[in-house]
Amino acid sequence: MSVRPAPAPEALPSPAPVAPEVSVVVPCRNEAATVGDVVRAALEALEACGYAGEVLVVDNDSEDGSAAAAAEAGARVVRQPIRGYGAACLGGFEAARGRILVLVDGDGTYDLGTLHRFVEPLRAGYEMVLGTRRNGEILPGAMKGAHRHLLEPLQTHLLRSAFGLRVSDIRCGMRAVTREALGRLRLGATGMEFASEMLVEAVRAGLDVVEVPVSFHPRPTGEPRRTVGDGWRVARQVLLLSPTRLYLAPGLVLLAVGMLLELALLPGPVRVGRFHVDYHFMFVGSALAILGLQLMLLGVYAKTYGLVHDRLVDRWIARFHLHYSLERGVALGAGLFGLGLAVNVWILAGWVAAGQGVLFAVRPAVLALTLMVLGAEVVFAAFFLSLLRGSEFSRV
């Protein structure tokens, strides 16, 4: 009797790996002394909270072995050769697999034990969580006095006043966002201005945002963390995204001051205390008025560009374009130009009536020249504005 060998058991398919819910993204450049500790702290926090997660370190062209230290600590490491904080964050977001993305610096300045503060609000329905050191704790030595008391509060004030986002700390390096909400943000900054761009885009997209307190520690290496250059890049980004403060407000002030100065001196010289202000200052007023109108037009162009490309939420510019048309712009400019031309004709008529002798009509001539230049600017601006907005509106 022959005995058949028992058939080999069929191999059971191995279970598919569980997709992580939380991805801790750590942008890193030359942080070999600290990134390993950050990775281990993040892994411990994920385990302690019971989150299925991963730690992803984005090596931003490091030269000190940061990538090896991160990998040894248990992180998945991806490389981003384009230098810059924003470039590293964008590379990490693209490579991360989690539904919830938590961003934290790799220099050991944030406590990963507060990870749940960034995850639970997103689970509850919020779309973005921002850390705040101002309403949390800033340990001694963690931030230079100039940054703590002047530069960073100024940047936060600019963002709050320009975009209406009620945040207390725009530079905090620990924040979180859902994958779905991230897809609605148009992010592209590669430097430190990425942090403020992320908040501006959150306003544009209408994200539901909440702040949570964090503790901010000194860098273990003792090296300075912020530079004046970083602060300027953030302030520059906020100004570029706020045409009202960069163009419109200064332009309106210059235009008003210039025209008031010309009108005040039109009847004759004015004495202000010990000073005798004469027609020479009308030239100053003319220059201020022309420069002011140019700035205002640049502001309108910038707001129109943002409106057309869905980069700006501004009810004023939207209402403006509902009533603006090329013909109305040309009519306004032509009216100003015609008014200035009429003043010049009046001067010419007076000169002819006086026998064509010596002509000294500087005051009305300066005002007429200003009005003609302003009118010409408005006419050409009307054509450019209509070209800029294209067919986005019913009026041409």
What pLDDT digit, counting tens, does each position of 200-241 carry? 889 888 899 999 999 999 988 766 555 556 666 666 766 766
Report the relative pairing of strands 128-138 and 175-178 from DSSP bridges. antiparallel
How does strand 22-28 pair with strand 270-272? unpaired
Cβ–Cβ under 8 Å, residues 175 and 211: no
pLDDT per residue of the chain (396 residues) written in tens, 0 to 9: 445 555 545 554 545 456 799 999 999 999 999 999 999 999 999 999 999 999 999 999 899 999 999 999 999 999 999 999 999 999 999 999 999 999 999 999 999 999 999 999 999 999 999 999 989 998 988 887 777 777 777 777 777 776 777 888 888 999 999 999 999 998 988 888 898 889 888 988 889 999 999 999 998 876 655 555 666 666 676 676 678 888 999 999 999 999 999 999 999 888 888 888 888 899 999 999 999 999 999 999 988 887 787 655 677 888 888 888 899 999 999 999 999 999 999 988 888 887 776 667 889 999 999 999 999 999 999 999 998 887 665 444
Q: DSSP letters of 345-391?
A: HHHHHHHHHTTS-----HHHHHHHHHHHHHHHHHHHHHHHHHHHHTT
Choose among 29, 24, 59: nearest CA to 41: 24
- The Cα diameter of the chain in Å comes to 143
Count Cα neighbours of 185 within 13 Å in the Cβ-side half-sphere: 25
125: alpha, beta or left? (left if phi > 0; alpha if psi -120 to 50): left
CB–CB of 214/110 below 8 Å? yes
Separation between Cα atoms, residue 129 and residue 176, nearest integer Å:
5
Q: Tens of pLDDT along 317-330?
A: 888 888 888 999 99
Backbone dihedral angles phi then psi of residue 53, each to the nearest 5 degrees: -150, 180
Instruction: Put the strands of the sheet holding 76-79 in their side by side order.
Output: 76-79, 53-59, 22-28, 100-103, 175-178, 128-138, 209-216
pTM: 0.70
Q: Is 224 left (phi over 0), alpha (psi -120 to 50) or beta?
A: beta
Which stretches within the chain are classed as H helix? 35-49, 66-73, 85-95, 115-123, 145-146, 152-163, 179-182, 194-205, 228-240, 243, 249-265, 280-308, 315-323, 326-353, 362-389
What's the confidence (pLDDT) of residue 396?
40
Q: Is 55 helix (H, G, I), strand (E, B) or coil?
A: strand
Tell me the C-alpha distance between 313 and 136, whole Å.
31
